Structure 1
Amino acid sequence: MGRQHVEQIAKQLEVLYPGDAKTLCALHFETPFQLLVATVLSAQTTDAAVNAATHVLFARYPTPQELAIADIANVAEIVYSTGFYRTKANRIVELAGQIVDRYQGEVPEQLEELTTLPGVGRKTANVVRSVCFGLPGLPVDTHVARLSNRLGLSSSQNAEVIEQELCGLLPESRWGSFSLQLILHGRRICRARTPSCFRCELAPSCDSAPASVR
């Protein structure tokens, strides 16, 4: 796979889903803390479910200082629709507390610091870095992993390896938007079980598309 192949896919995605990481992000938020919480809540659920829950959650607990002292049962009730609500409620309250105690209520920008917080892995950290802080970050979720494999951008199943490989193929300024564009395309066209190859704009560049549509 050559750099020209990657650049061609990146250009096609830019036409299909124009914008930067902030405008492409489907989660609703006003502050880095709110995006951090929303991204933690987004595990194994939809953005729509998260946005419905955070609309209520952030109206009641908009800052880490307020969420850190919230009643966990109340928080669990609010985030019920996101699934695994008890675990998630405990996690985001603990997360808020650590941001208050360790970082004076400010979300850290560095990946190494973000990933020490409860419920925050590389994917979540890279979302916050790229969307809120305009820093290099390429989140790899199931959509990014699947499309990277299908498009011939990576043969790995390991999220961190995929992240490293994609970062090596793209300029830093494109990391965040490229990831979100892959996610949008994965939801719209290149679904896990039934990819719509015959109406996929990326089919001519896709290693997995049927020969008839290349």
Structure 2
Amino acid sequence: MLVSGASAGIGEATARALAARGARVGLLARRADRLGALADELPGAVAVPVDLTDDDAVPAAVGTAAAALGGLDALVNAAGVFHAGEVAPAAGEQPMASPQDWRRMFDLNVVALLVLTRSAAPYLVAGTDPAVVSISSMSGRRVPTAAGAVYAASKHAVHAVSEGLRMELAPRGVRVTTVSPGFVRTGIVDDWPDGPLRDRYAERLAAVGLDPAVVADAVVHILSSPAQVVEYALTSVTQ
């Protein structure tokens, strides 16, 4: 099994949950030190450091993981990033998100998912009951705030491409599922500049955020469920 974004957050929790159930896991992320430390903890895990936005490096990383694991039965697309900020703030207000932040979200949340899935597909088709699970968001179904609109757009895209991938891969025996959590207690706002927006999101995460392990358990449930299970919504609060 292959998990992206495995150095922290939902990806790390998912890798731990899968390993606890006896799976051998390939770990993909940029931070080699954290990835190596996690691989040392998990029996049979393989750390393959890679920048998931490097289109040329990803296929080689997937091949390395597949060779070490003896093939792939599942891919969990858990890597993602969130930059909040209104697109057109009022006069005198400093923009919280730059065009580079917008590109980073789409590069990692959408394009990297596509490149990784394309790279893994040949191995998955040859696997046993293969599956792709992509972590989207409840924001992929609605736009909760103006400050989160661009992030929501990237997660709407995850749903769209996942539905297309399902059409492509189902005839070849590969299940494609999306998991849509609400707020999850990760370090997703840690790198944001100090200010009211960061404080508001941090307070919300602390108040109603899910433990990443809860999302990880949902992924494990999906991978052990019948092939008909293709959509999973998970939220900690009714809005």
Q: Per residue, is there more strand in 1 or in 2? A: 2
Q: Per residue, is there more helix in 1 or in 2? A: 1
Q: TM-score, normalised by structure 1?
A: 0.30
